[in-house]
Structure 1
Amino acid sequence: MAVNIDEQGLTNEQGEQLTPLQAGLDRPPQLRAARVRQQSIIKTVVLVATLLFLFIPLASMLLFTVRHPLSGRWSLAAWQAIFTGNGESLGADLTVLWQGLGTSLALCVVTVVIMLLLMVPTMVIVHIRSKRLERAIEWVATLPLTIPAIVLVVGLGPIYRWLSADVLSTNPIWLCFAYVILVMPFSFRALAVGLNSIDVKTLCEASRSLGASWPRVFFRVIIPNLWQAILSASFISIAVVLGEYTVASLLGRMNLQVALFQLGQSNSQISTAMSLLALLFGVILLVALDLISDRIRNRKDK
């Protein structure tokens, strides 16, 4: 192909303008190398700034747990108290911490079960039947993101007062109903991504044409293809429940964050150390999610 260079730029024999790539021309190697170096420097600066923004507060928390703020003495007593379960030498009663931790773990299990029983069948049915209704459910599911937790407590307070007095009890496990509302936006988005990544209608029609019942289609065809989305929704819900403080505190219930706050009144080092462990647990959940997702993807590819 003949290329002409005129006032209009690069043109072919018919007078049509060409891009440098179409004309077979490229930048000199020196310019390309300089551009690559510039991009790599920008990426490095952004990455370092992000890591500093994330890890400097965590490093400060870790330093606070091993160095006494008044005397400057270095000690692992706060960590030893957590792993041995004895904080009497530091003037802290760890009973409330274990009570809050146990309550939060139980709330994680119950909240995830209720969320999956409520969200997965509803989203699958709506995804198959009506796109318009799916958008309405999306609006309802994401509504808790726009409502502050303290406003939710104002509405949930009378309901929980009635439930505690006349129907259920004051056991913190019943916070699961409020927590299902809080995790709904995150679980909806994770499940929606999973549903949009597969052709649910085609799978259902093919299974039904082969004689499978609807329960069999749901449990043997759709659920195996949604495992990654279900795990994502579950892990995100666990992270939200473990970090929730406002609802439990204002409703007068005990969970991990409320226990950490109360423990911080007597020994802030132990409270900070336990907060770091809770953050580490969240990171482990995310890494586990990534590893499980890769294994499921590799198994499908095989």
Structure 2
Amino acid sequence: MSTRVAKGALWVVFGLFFLFPLYAMADFSTRNLLSGGRTMAAWANLVTDEALYQSIITSLLLAVLTVVVMLILLVPTMIWVRLRTPWAKGAVEFLCLLPLTIPALVVVVGLKNVYLWVTYFFGESALTLTFVYVVVVLPFSYRSIDAALSAIDLGTLSEAARSLGAGWATTIARVVVPNIWSGVLSAAFISVAVVLGEYTIASLSGYQTLPIQIVALGKTDGPTSVAASLATLLFGFVLLLVLSLVTRRRRHA
């Protein structure tokens, strides 16, 4: 009984610790600083402020493109390495985890000459940050997908599919991926969270993404800046909740 009470007390303490800052942000973003009372003007600015709205769209597009490119590159590569070239697993893991050790400033400076060609072919759009963000999210995505692949008998599944006449594309898309779906979702959601919160690379590259706009608004319009920050946090919370529900449902299926 005492253990249950202690656990309940800890849950309450940790809940207050994490929820109180969110409540404070919601309170500040809905407060009318001039005349008092409550107003939703700051939240309305998320769609009425043109610069903020465009930065939200840009960041969401960057998140989607980053996830798509990352999955297309990483999932087939990791499956192929495990099945055909297991001796290269260490090298692939090292390359995927390497971005964790490189500061964002070094990444921007190192890719400056490469991005001269990127902007030449794709234009000076903020969406070209996709290529850098794919590199940034590799360590987190690799761990999620690697854990999912380690939990299944990949060799048996692929051999069974191949013996039934399935090609490699069919084997990956219809046999392997459904069995590592939780890892794929984890990699995707973590990548979205990283992209939506990335500030340094976008700032040094001179592009207007959501974090850049939030910092700029913080100097002139505090409530709108806090509202945008809270919306980003809530969006990340919803993604984690969806991941938890999907993973739990697949385990019980």
TM over 0.5: yes
Deviation at 1:291, TM superposition (A): 1.6
Identity of aligned residues (%): 43
* 1:52 paired to 2:16: yes
Task: Please name the residue that 2:206 is paired with.
Answer: 252
**1:163 equivalent in structure 2:** 118
Q: 2:43 & 2:118 partners in 1: Cα distance?
A: 40
Alignment of 1:9-20 (within 5 A): none
- Following TM superposition, the consecutive aligned residue runs of length 4 or more in structure 1 with deviations greater than 4 angstroms are none
CA distance, structure 2, for counterparts of residue 169 and residue 215 of structure 1: 32
1:193-208 to 2 correspondences below 5 Å: 193-208=147-162
* Post-superposition offset of 1:228: 1.9
Q: Secondary structure at the match of 2:38?
A: coil
1:144 paired with 2:105, answer no
Structure with higher RCO (Cα < 8 A, 6+ apart): 2
Distance in 2 separating the partners of 1:111 and 1:79? 29
Equivalent of residue 39 in structure 2, options 72, 76, 79: 76
C-alpha distance in 1 between matches for 2:231 and 2:86: 42
Q: Which of the numbers 226, 251, 255 marks the counterpart of 2:180?
A: 226
User: Cα 1:98–1:196, aligned 2, differ >3 Å: closer, same or farther?
Assistant: same
Q: Match of 1:198, SS?
A: coil
After superposition, residues 147-296 of structure 1 pair within 5 angstroms as: 147-164=102-119, 166-296=120-250
- After TM superposition, give the deviation of residue 261 of structure 1 in Å: 1.7
* Structure 1 residues 52 and 146, CA gap change in structure 2 (3 angstroms): farther
What are structure 2's unaligned runs of at least 5 residues?
Answer: none
C-alpha displacement at 1:45, in angstroms?
Answer: 4.3
> 1:99 and 2:54 equivalent?
yes
| Paired residues of 1:82 and 1:274 also in contact (CA < 8 A) | no
- Contact 2:140/2:191 (<8 A) preserved: yes
Cα pair 2:43 2:227 within 8 Å, conserved: no
- The residue identity in structure 1 corresponding to 2:98 is L
Q: Which moved more, 1:98-107 or 1:144-153?
A: 144-153
**Cα deviation, residue 170, structure 1:** 1.1
Deviations for 1:146-170, whole angstroms, at most 9, x for unmatched residues?
2222222221233224432x33321
Higher relative helix content: 2
Q: Under a length normalisation based on structure 2, what TM-score does the superposition of the two structures give?
A: 0.90
Number of residues of Structure 1 aligned to a counterpart in Structure 2? 253
Q: Which runs of 5+ in 1 are unaligned?
A: 1-35, 87-93
For structure 1, which segment, 171-180 or 206-215, has the greater mean C-alpha deviation from structure 2 after superposition?
Answer: 206-215
Q: TM-score, normalised by structure 1?
A: 0.77
1:87-126 to 2 correspondences below 5 Å: 94-126=49-81
Cα distance in 2 for partners of 1:76, 1:243 equals 27
- In angstroms, what is the RMSD of aligned CA positions? 2.1
Report if aligned partners of 2:43, 2:224 keep a CA contact under 8 Å in 1. no
Q: Deviations over 1:123-164 (max 9, x none)?
A: 001111233311221121112122222222221233224432
Q: Give the Cα separation in 1 of the matches to 2:5 and 2:100.
A: 37
- Evaluate the alpha carbon distance shift between residue 161 and residue 208 of structure 1 in structure 2; reply closer, same or farther with a 3 A threshold: closer
1:15-26 correspondence runs (5 A): none
Distance of 1:46 and 1:139 partners within structure 2: 39
Distance 2:7 2:112 in 1: 48
Q: State the distance in 1 between where 2:5 and 2:87 align.
A: 47
Q: Mark the structure with the bigger radius of gyration.
A: 1
Question: By how many angstroms is 1:297 displaced?
Answer: 2.7
